[in-house]
Amino acid sequence: MRRSGIRIMGKLIGLVGPLLPVMLAAVAMGVAGYLCAIFLTITASAGILEVLGITSPWIFPKSLSRIFLMLIVMAVLRGVLHYVEQDCNHFIAFKLLAIIRHKVFAALRSLCPAKLEGKDRGNLISVITSDIELLEVFYAHTISPVAIAVITSILMVGFIGSFHPFCGLLALCGYLAVGMAVPLWNSGRGKKAGMEYREKFGEMNSFILDSLRGLKETIQYGQGGKRLEELEQSSDELADRQGRLKKLEGDQTAATGACITLFSFAMLFLTLWLQRQGSLGTEGVLLTTVSMMGSFGPVTALSSLSNNLNQTLACGERVLAILEETPQVEEVTGQKPLTEDEKKSVIAAGLSGSTALRQVNFSYGDEMILKDVNMVVPEHKILGIHGRSGSGKSTILKLLMRFWDVQKGEVTIAGRDVRRINTSKLRKMESFVTQETVLFHNSIAENIAVGKLGASREEIIEAAKKASIHDFIVTLPKGYDTLVGELGDALSGGERQRIGLARAFLHEAPFLLLDEPTSNLDSLNEGIILKSLKEEQENRTVVLVSHRRSTLNIADEVFEMDGGRVS
């Protein structure tokens, strides 16, 4: 269920807390700046009254020279105060955008991988980049303008009302109409359109990202025309939604202009009527009418916000949805580390290893993958898992990594349920090589070094040798400093896979989980890697998943997966 605009703004304003003093300074500067701008015309009007010999209120000087001096001071102050206000607002905005980005990345980190599997990557990129960027409008041009408009309007109602209460009441109605009634009316009309535009924008990002990644396949199978047609259709739909927002923006501007004109003339007619009744002097007619006409600036700025506010609130809702998303797997902290006694007690209980799955049931949604699975992983041994695609082999490794939690049973290390082991410690104890190795747009050395923070070049080279990739790397023009390209597209599938293995060897975790680690390799490189795994067996426990019988020949024990069960 989508939340209201007020709730979204409330949540976003709650993030301002650390920068509240700067926000208050921005509001103070803004109010003072607008008052200077408004009273420029009012003071000039007081100068005209002075020339005509009509007495103006006590707050204005009684000589033309002082009035001119007052005008100069207010003009200079208006520029300075406006600059300081904008500087404060943008400092707050960009500081908060950085904070929000950190919060969003932290939220994605906690949601990954369970809650992000199958998520639209293009939409996530849109949230992280353009959606957060659009919040700058809210923080720099919404919060303090609202406060400035409210405070300035109250002061002007007091000033205009000092001439006659009816004038003050009419001014209040004018400010409420322009600053509140019109924006609320337009915001209600455009809320759905704003969200549809942002969602369509994210979908188009995803489509373009898919098209770029699949460019070779598109060319190979002659699908360029079809993809282009789909892109044009998506672009037209996005333009249609943007057109709706522009129409709403035009309606808003027209309604605001109409209200300003209506209330300005209403003030003129009211003051003329009050003058005829003997309740208001000539100075009151001129000054209140000029005050009314010249004081709509703050509420007009507030009214204009609703033109972009529909999109901004849609962006805010999408960002807040990520920040408030509940992780599928909660990270564990504060648990005591595993002790040697715990490890010994497991062995004394008659188990041959410290890691086990006991009566495990697991399903993705309604699809049961594992049912009553029991498995013991022997320490310092290589355990093989064999089975057809979709039988649950990779799922077992994800449960050992605690990317997902079991629905029934338990996964234990040293007799302790992985849900009672600090997540950071668990991940340090394990290295996981997936079927698809993700490489960053960086050098080969830096991609391998992902496995160990601060790894030396010698350690990186040693890990590469174990993964049978060193000889290939040294033939490259820049060796280990060669860039791998976006997503590693400068390398073959086998080369990417071996870099992933090098990461795992560099990580030096005692528990090594390998999911089809040699599926893209020739028999020679596979043999070298399997030999390295056999040598690592003295220091590590290895779980090796493969559909190849030949790969599993090095395993000390092999489990067969069939229909979610282990034999």
pLDDT at position 306 is 60
Q: Which amino acid is at 406?
A: V
Phi, psi of 163 (to 5 degrees): -80, -40
**483 has which bridge partners?**
443
For CATH 3.40.50.300, list the domain ranges present in the chain: 340-566
Please check whether residue 519 is in contact with residue 435, taking contact to mean a CB–CB distance below 8 angstroms.
Answer: yes
Q: Is 542 helix (H, G, I), strand (E, B) or coil?
A: strand
Beta-carbon contacts of 361 under 8 Å, excluding residues fewer than 6 positions away, are 368, 370, 371, 372, 373, 406, 407, 408, 409
- Measured CA to CA, the distance from residue 294 to residue 264 in angstroms comes to 9
Please check whether residue 505 is in contact with residue 466, taking contact to mean a CB–CB distance below 8 angstroms.
Answer: yes
- Measured CA to CA, the distance from residue 167 to residue 361 in angstroms comes to 75
Please check whether residue 309 is in contact with residue 183, taking contact to mean a CB–CB distance below 8 angstroms.
Answer: yes
Tell me the three-class secondary structure of 441-503, residue by residue: CCEHHHHHHHHCCCCCHHHHHHHHHHCCCHHHHHCCCCHHHCECCHHHCCCCHHHHHHHHHHH
Q: Which residue has the tokens 């535009």?
A: 197
Phi, psi of 329 (to 5 degrees): -125, 110
Tell me the three-class secondary structure of 364-404, residue by residue: ECCEEEEEEEEEEECCCCEEEEEECCCCCHHHHHHHHCCCC
pLDDT at position 353 is 45
pLDDT at position 350 is 36
pLDDT at position 425 is 83
| Residue 487 Ramachandran class (φ > 0 left, ψ -120 to 50 alpha, else beta) | left
For CATH 1.20.1560.10, list the domain ranges present in the chain: 5-323
C-alpha of 499 from chain center: 30
For domain 5-323, give the fold: ABC transporter transmembrane region fold (1.20.1560)
pLDDT at position 345 is 45
Regions of the chain short of the pLDDT cut 70: 1-5, 56, 58, 118-120, 122, 187-191, 303-310, 337-354, 486-489, 563-567
Say whether domain 340-566 belongs to CATH 3.40.50.300: yes
Beta-carbon contacts of 435 under 8 Å, excluding residues fewer than 6 positions away, are 394, 515, 516, 519
- Measured CA to CA, the distance from residue 233 to residue 145 in angstroms comes to 39
pLDDT at position 349 is 39
- Measured CA to CA, the distance from residue 425 to residue 204 in angstroms comes to 40
pLDDT at position 536 is 73
Give the total residue count for the chain: 567
C-beta atoms surrounding 145 within 10 Å = 23
* Token representation of residue 482: 């060669």
- Measured CA to CA, the distance from residue 111 to residue 495 in angstroms comes to 30
pLDDT at position 170 is 92
pLDDT at position 351 is 39
